[in-house]
Amino acid sequence: MKGITFFVFIFYFSGVFGQLNPTTRILFILDASNSMNSSWGSQTRIQAAREVLNQELEALRNVPNTEIALRIYGHQTPFNNLEQDCNDTKLEVPFGINNLEQIKLKIKTVEAKGATPIARSLEAAAGDFPDTLARNIIILITDGLESCDNDPCIIAKKLKTKGVKVTPFVIGLGMDMSYLDKFSCIGTYSDAEDKESFRNVFKNILNTVLEKTSVQVNLNDITGKPTETNVTMFFYEAGTATLKYTFVHTLNRFGNPDTLYLDPAIAYDLKVNTTPTLLKTGITLKKHVHNTVSISAPQGFIRLTSMKSNYNPRFEMRVIPKGDSKTLLSQTYNDIYKYLIGTYEVEILTIPRIYKTVEVTQAAVSTISIDAPGELAYTFNKPLIAQLFLQDKTGFWNGVYTFSDSSTAGKILIQPGTYKLVYRTKDMKSSGYTHEKIITISSNKTNTLNIN
């Protein structure tokens, strides 16, 4: 399945260096080949491209020292299985300062028709720039691979041999990894799956081109490497409860923390929603550069399990940081949860309760294993006042379960062991009617208890 791909070629010509405020020229190349008429969600690809581009190009309105232009290909000659027009590429709107409305109108009205001459469009685009004294940038939007006889990789190499330094970003929408790999000869790339991803990717590209303030958050493991990820981050205005940005921390295709764009005019408090949470306060950003915020966040995992049970128990476990009394998380039997490294106390809500201490280490799964429960199936001839007791190591009997005085039948899961049932018929009004019964519970077995 084809998707939409962005290539961002940033051409740094030698004449740019040394200028304090060089002009930035951005050439948009839009694919209007026949394949852009294919469905993409509730729209066609060309409809999605029109909508997103016309909305997000507003970010370029009145930006100082910036000029834009538009080249389109595949829009003049209808697609023909017998012959393709590989010269169907045209500079529709040349570079200018006040031409945004002209570009938006052309994008709104373009019809997708023909071939996909990516290489020839890139080659022709090199001549669309008035001079080599600016930051000359190409953003190519296409939904597929080259359909003509030229190779975009060869064109990229030719540009380099001419002394043009190319720093490309390739973002593929709706494409599988094998398809994206075909663009590795051009440069780095990432993928997005739908129109909103398309929108976010496009925004990030413009932020990069316009040299907006960027940030990466390094969640460092125990070795100091930024390998921790997949956790929600809240950026609050420093010293307040005003939430400014929300992100799910992500490592990109190359294993590096993703780039974020934040307003550098204010300071931030960053809450990282690990378990337990981490807080970094008073973060200030340097404008127009890439900032790195580092937080030590080494994590491991806890898993509660047991030998295979016949009864499919879903026990829960309270996890409490050592030395604290507040429950950090209620974790379910056989699930795996991530925690910051450290020592935790756990209370497993079995009958009877089980208490353990667990040490969480970097990237490892700390498994808490308990015996599989047995089942107690009880039937009472009359309602009872009844409690179940277990003898501890010191010889004392401790209550582990109280039966409902309105229930005469039921089933409960109990950890293996020897228990004492103490009971009296509810309607008997003398303590002399107290009785005892020893019950043995074994893992994965049902013990039937009848009280007449």
* Domain residue ranges in the chain: 4-209, 214-296, 299-370, 374-451
Listed residue (335, 294, 308, 302) closest to 321, CA to CA: 302
pLDDT tier at 179 (50, 70, 90 boundaries)? Answer: low
Minimum mean pLDDT range among 32-36, 130-134, 286-290, 381-385: 130-134
C-alpha distances in Å from residue 98, one per residue of 63, 101, 102, 344: 10, 8, 9, 62
**pLDDT of res. 166:** 44
* pLDDT tens string 249-262: 999 878 999 999 99
Once rounded to an integer, what is the mean pLDDT over residues 34-62? 92
Q: Which CATH number fits domain 299-370: 2.60.40.10, 3.40.50.2000, 2.30.22.10, 3.40.50.300?
A: 2.60.40.10
For residues 134 and 237, the model is more confident at 237
Q: Inform me whether the pLDDT recorded for 146 exceeds 90.
A: no
CA dihedral of 394, 395, 396, 397, whole degrees rounded to 10:
130
Q: What percent of the chain has pLDDT over 90?
A: 65
Q: What is the pLDDT of residue 163?
A: 47
Which pair of tokens denotes residue 289?
């550069």
pLDDT band at 162 (very low <50, low <70, confident <90, very high): low
Q: How confident is the model at residue 153 (pLDDT cuts 50, 70, 90)?
A: confident
Average pLDDT for 308-334: 92
| Verdict on whether the full-model pTM lies above 0.85 | no
Q: What is the per-residue pLDDT across 389-424, written as a single tens digit (0 to 9) for each?
A: 999 989 999 999 999 999 999 999 999 999 999 999
Beta strands, E only, 97-173: 135-142, 165-173
Structure tokens at 250: 């992500």
Using 50, 70 and 90 to split pLDDT, how confident is the model at 18? very low
- 305 — phi, psi (to 5°)? -150, 180
| Burial status of residue 176 (CB atoms within 10 A of its CB: 0-12, 13-18, 19 or more) | exposed
| Among the ranges given (18-32, 289-303, 318-332), the one the predictor scored with the smallest mean pLDDT | 18-32
For residue 133, the model assigns a pLDDT of 77
Give the torsion through C-alpha atoms of 11, 16, 20, 24, to 10 deg: -40
**Spatial CA neighbour of 68 closest among 32, 33, 29, 105:** 29
Structure tokens at 389: 């007791």
Q: Which CATH superfamily is domain 4-209 in?
A: von Willebrand factor, type A domain (3.40.50.410)
Q: What is the mean pLDDT of residues 151-180?
A: 60
User: For residue 372, which amino acid is it?
Assistant: A
**49-76 as b/e, with b when 16 or more CB fall inside 10 Å?**
bbbbbeebbeebeebeebbbbbbbbbbe
pLDDT in tens, 418-445: 999 999 999 999 999 999 999 999 999 9
Specify whether the CB–CB gap between 147 and 36 falls below 8 A: no
Residue with tokens 């809500």: 349
For residue 130, what pLDDT is reported? 86
Question: Any idea which residue has 């080599």 for tokens?
Answer: 132
Cα 248 to Cα 43: distance, rounded to the nearest angstrom: 27
Q: Does the structure show a pLDDT above 60 at 20?
A: no
- Confidence at 72, pLDDT banded by 50, 70, 90: very high
Please say if the pLDDT value at position 48 is more than 50.
yes
Question: Taking all residues of the chain, what is their mean pLDDT, rounded to a whole number?
Answer: 88
pLDDT of residue 84: 87
Question: In the predicted model, what is the mean pLDDT of residues 78-101?
Answer: 92
Homologous superfamily of 374-451: Carboxypeptidase-like, regulatory domain (2.60.40.1120)
Closest CA to 447 of 402, 420, 414: 414
Report the length, in residues, of the chain.
452
Task: Please state which of the four CATH numbers 2.40.40.20, 2.60.40.1120, 3.40.50.920, 1.10.10.10 is assigned to the domain occupying 214-296.
Answer: 2.60.40.1120
Q: Residues with Cβ < 8 Å from 201, sequence gap 6 or more?
A: 6, 171, 173, 190, 192
Is the peptide bond between 313 and the residue preceding it cis, with omega within 30 degrees of 0?
no
Position with higher pLDDT, 174 vs 41: 41
Q: What's the pLDDT at 172?
A: 58
Give the distance, in angstroms, between the CA of residue 449 and the centroid of all CA atoms in the same chain.
51
Res 275: pLDDT:
97
Measured distance between the N- and C-terminal CA atoms of the chain, rounded to whole angstroms: 70
pLDDT > 90? residue 197: no
Q: Give me the pLDDT at residue 182, please.
A: 60
- Mean pLDDT, to the nearest integer, of 227-238? 98
Asked, colleague to colleague, whether 214-296 and 374-451 share their fold, the answer is yes
Confidence of residue 17 (pLDDT cuts 50, 70, 90): very low
By DSSP bridging, strand 417-425 and strand 384-391 are antiparallel
Query: Which has more confidence, 14 or 38?
Result: 38
> Do residues 89 and 124 lie in contact, with contact meaning Cβ atoms separated by under 8 Å?
yes
pLDDT interval class at 159 (50, 70, 90): low
CB-based contact 73:44 (threshold 8 Å):
no
pLDDT bucket at 14, cuts 50 / 70 / 90: very low
